[in-house]
Structure 1
Amino acid sequence: MSFRFNFSIDENENNEPDTHDKTDLQLHSPKHTRESTEKSKQTADTIADSSPRLGTDKQQDETPSKQKFCFKAAKEHNIPEDLNKILENKVMETVSDLYYVNMSVVEMACLDGADGEGIVSKSVSSHSDLIPGVYEGGLKIWECTFDLIDYFSEAEIQFTNKTVLDLGCGAGLLGIVALRGKAEKVHFQDYNSTVIDEITLPNAVANCMKAGNRMGSGDDKKTSKPPLKRRRKAECLPDMLTKCRFFSGEWSEVSQLLLSSNKPFSKYDLILTSETIYNPEYYGALHDTLAQLLDKNGCVYLASKAHYFGVGGGIYLFEKFIEERNVFRTSIVKIIDKGLQRCIMEMAFKDSS
């Protein structure tokens, strides 16, 4: 079951959304649906995914040699005072007790003119989930996101008082988990401004409002109900939301914006990123961004498939790239062998304590 934030939300008080099994998420329009027909094999160069789950296979018709890296200008997205406006006409669903907007509804709104970048119409017309330099997949929640969320719980990763960056955030679920873990501040970055405005910001607002209402009521059991009260425009932001900043643009441009900003900036204790290494042409920019923004004693948690068909990237190729740069030490801390092999990598500076 899903519910619509058409605000006011109190109309939905008795509509408690179902919590979806993460393996059955239907996160985007059927016109984007693809099922892998490859059989899984043992080597990284030949593994393929036969899973029907959506958001599981980043592929692109162009070969890597034809893809050009695009330096999309960076922009910070301010949080509007009227939080009702952010969630207006959004249909929200839940997974793992996290709110997220229904992507199909967002896509329909974008096709009706809500998408200033035109990424949805371009994605539909090209029958592609990735258009290098135009659209980088932020309208889906890719499955490695959930691998990383599971790992946070299994490894008891602590977010308390940490500064966190959700890099290539898409829906922003990794950053939202960090917020719930009492991070001091969480920044979200995605390549596309449409993704930040239509998906990341609404998800963060919905989850922060839910947390605020739950803490105010003193009842932690009502975790699957939406925030119930209309927040007036004059009220202050929920405490959790004041910890957040949102950015769009290419990685190196966002780095430059942060490092040259007049606003106080401290490097991140944790950088979280999922399915951002599908294209080897992006490895240099990603490596340099991590090196510039990570605190000297910080840590990166990266989730990826072993291999991405059509674009050529993957965890082992990226691991080799990092080793050659000789800046970070890496460790693959978890391997998931269901269908297409997936991995969790931990990175830290070689000279860190």
Structure 2
Amino acid sequence: MQDKAALAFIDQPSDLVPGVYEGGLKTWECSLDLVDYLDRSKKTDAFVARGKRILEIGCGTAIPSIHILNELFSSPVHSKETEIHLQDYNASALELVTFPNILLAWCWWFLFHSSHRDLTFLQQDMSPASETFRNAQISNNEDERDDNVFPAPDPAVAANIPITDEVKAAFEISLLEHRISLRIFSGSWSTFDVNKAGGKYDMVLTSETVYRMESVPSLIKLIYHACEGASQCGLDSRRSLHPPPYLCLIAAKVFYFGVGGGVTEFIQAVHLAGKCDNMTPKIETVWAKNVGVGRKILRLYWE
């Protein structure tokens, strides 16, 4: 699907065209719920992202992954690499919103610290490319005659950020400096090869992906194969005495009107898959909103 055709879906009355467009150009409520939950829980060891392999399934605008990236950029550099993989059905969504959102979020973070001269930890290992970008930004903002002025980092005000060679180089170097590896995958869940992507993950996140029951079995299968240690569950009975070595969170509406999916249907499908594949799934509701259209965050693991 061409980018122009994809953009036409933004103002359409339907956010779902099965096999064509899966709503990835919009930010949905449950992704924000997931960010809030991760932020409140970040002091827990299980939620520490640094040095982990992380997969966001059906990422769309990638708000949860961007939240994690912001935490990584804002913390001291660690020796262990963090891998963040983003998957979405539509390549156009990845091109039009996923990666641009990541780049814009990084620009906001970088310019915010530059404009406030809060550069102590930025300058510790600042590369020539990053320093060039920062100095150019400061110089541009001080020169009213320059048409390529970077806007003040105010998320409440619409603005344009010129994507120059310096911006791209500084972004790439920032990833290297903070030991962050980003990969983006397009296609259906049934075609995602965990082994080719580098192996299992420590953290698997997904939001607003259980709305269509026909696709839920492939989602469950991907989650199961993606979770680090899940395939060994049941081989040692003592494993049930310890927390699982992975974190898997599913954020979803209780019911998706007009589509048929929802939290209850997803839970039933997980247990059905467990019986078919000799797995013992465990699902905990770790957060819930019961006012209006109900929403929940589930934690899924296997024993």
Q: TM-score, normalised by structure 1?
A: 0.59
Contact 1:179 1:240 in 2 (8 A): no
Structure 1 gap ranges (5+): 1-109
Cα distance in 1, alignment partners of residues 195 and 99 from structure 2: 23
Q: Which residue of 2 aligns with 1:282?
A: 215
| Alpha-carbon spacing, 1:121–1:218, altered in 2? closer, same or farther (3 Å) | closer
1:166 paired to 2:96: no
Cα distance in 1, alignment partners of residues 175 and 110 from structure 2: 8
Cα distance in 1, alignment partners of residues 219 and 166 from structure 2: 40
1:191 paired to 2:126: no
Larger deviation, residues 229-238 vs 145-154: 229-238
Q: Which residue of 2 aligns with 1:178?
A: 68
Contact 2:49 2:68 in 1 (8 A): yes
C-alpha displacement at 1:304, in angstroms? 0.5
Cα distance in 2, alignment partners of residues 114 and 316 from structure 1: 35
| Alpha-carbon spacing, 1:234–1:309, altered in 2? closer, same or farther (3 Å) | closer
| Alpha-carbon spacing, 1:159–1:114, altered in 2? closer, same or farther (3 Å) | same
Looking at CA atoms only, which structure, 1 or 2, has the larger radius of gyration? 2
Q: Which residue of 2 aligns with 1:224?
A: 154
Q: Which residue of 1 aligns with 2:106?
A: 208
Cα distance in 2, alignment partners of residues 325 and 277 from structure 1: 15
Q: TM-score, normalised by structure 2?
A: 0.68
> What is the DSSP-based 3-state SS (H/G/I as helix, E as strand, rest coil) of the residue aligned with 2:249?
strand
Contact 1:178 1:186 in 2 (8 A): no
| Alpha-carbon spacing, 1:140–1:228, altered in 2? closer, same or farther (3 Å) | closer
Q: Which residue of 2 aligns with 1:332?
A: 285
Per-residue displacement from partner, 1:30-51 (whole Å, max 9, x unpaired)? xxxxxxxxxxxxxxxxxxxxxx
Structure scoring higher RCO (CA < 8 A, sep ≥ 6) equals 1
| Alpha-carbon spacing, 1:260–1:346, altered in 2? closer, same or farther (3 Å) | same
Number of matched pairs:
230
Contact 2:9 2:15 in 1 (8 A): no
Cα distance in 2, alignment partners of residues 286 and 332 from structure 1: 19
Contact 1:164 1:178 in 2 (8 A): no
> What is the DSSP-based 3-state SS (H/G/I as helix, E as strand, rest coil) of the residue aligned with 1:152?
helix
| Alpha-carbon spacing, 1:223–1:159, altered in 2? closer, same or farther (3 Å) | farther
How do 1:59-74 and structure 2 match up within 5 A?
none
Contact 2:217 2:273 in 1 (8 A): no
Q: Which residue of 2 aligns with 1:320?
A: 268
Q: Which residue of 1 aligns with 2:174?
A: 239
> What is the DSSP-based 3-state SS (H/G/I as helix, E as strand, rest coil) of the residue aligned with 2:55?
strand
How do 1:1-353 and structure 2 match up within 5 A?
114-115=3-4, 118-121=5-8, 127-156=13-42, 157-182=47-72, 184-214=82-112, 217-218=117-118, 224=154, 230-232=164-166, 235=169, 237-240=172-175, 242-253=180-191, 255-256=192-193, 258-260=194-196, 265-296=198-229, 297-326=245-274, 327=279, 328-350=281-303
Cα distance in 2, alignment partners of residues 278 and 161 from structure 1: 32
Contact 1:123 1:130 in 2 (8 A): no
Cα distance in 1, alignment partners of residues 9 and 253 from structure 2: 26
> What is the DSSP-based 3-state SS (H/G/I as helix, E as strand, rest coil) of the residue aligned with 2:228?
strand
Structure 2 gap ranges (5+): 73-80, 121-151, 230-244
Contact 1:193 1:248 in 2 (8 A): yes
